[in-house]
Amino acid sequence: MRNEKNLSMMNRVISYLRQAIYDCKRGFWFCWKRFLILFIIIIFFDFYITKRVIDYEHINRIKLSIGFWDYLFQIFQGMPANIVQNKMSFFELPAMWLLFHLFLTFCMSGYIQQEEQNFGQQVLLRTKSRGIWWSGKCCWCILGTAVYYCITYFVTALFALFRQGFQPGLSAQLHELLSHIDVSGIGNKNIFVILVLMPVILSMGLMLFQLLISSIFNPLVSMVVQTVILSVSGYFCTPFLPGNYLMLMRLSPVSGENIKWEYGISYGILLIAACLLTGKIYYSRKDLCGLNYKQNLPRRGK
Question: What pLDDT, in 10s, does the model give residues 218-258?
Answer: 999 999 999 999 999 988 899 999 999 999 999 988 887 88
Maximum mean pLDDT: which of 26-30, 41-45, 213-217: 41-45
How far is residue 265 from each of residues 59, 224, 260, measured CA to CA in Å? 40, 24, 9
What pLDDT, on a 0 to 100 scale, did the predictor assign at position 297?
A: 43
What letter would DSSP give residue 129?
-
pLDDT at 121 over 70: no
User: What is the pLDDT, as a whole number, of residue 59?
Assistant: 85
Q: For residue range 147-175, list pLDDT tens digits in order.
A: 999 999 999 999 898 877 667 789 888 99
Length of the chain in terms of residues written = 302
| 28-43 pLDDT, tens digit each | 999 999 999 999 999 9
Over residues 93-107, the mean pLDDT reads: 94
What share of the chain has pLDDT > 70, as a percent?
A: 84
Collapsing DSSP states into helix, strand and coil, what is residue 222? helix
289 vs 98, more confident: 98
Mean pLDDT of the chain: 85
Q: Say what the pLDDT of residue 122 is.
A: 61
Residue 12 pLDDT = 75
User: What pLDDT sits at residue 125?
Assistant: 58
Query: Average pLDDT in the 282-296 region?
Result: 59
Task: Specify burial of residue 86 (Cβ count, 10 A radius: 0-12, 13-18, 19+).
Answer: exposed
**pLDDT class of 1 with cuts at 50, 70, 90:** low
pLDDT in the model for residue 302:
40
**pLDDT category of residue 127 using cuts at 50, 70 and 90:** low
Q: Residue 240, Cβ neighbours under 10 Å: how many?
A: 9
- What's the sign of the alpha-carbon dihedral 47, 48, 49, 51? positive
Residue 138 — very low, low, confident or very high, per pLDDT cuts 50/70/90? very high
- Hey, how many other C-beta atoms are within 10 angstroms of the C-beta on 124? 22
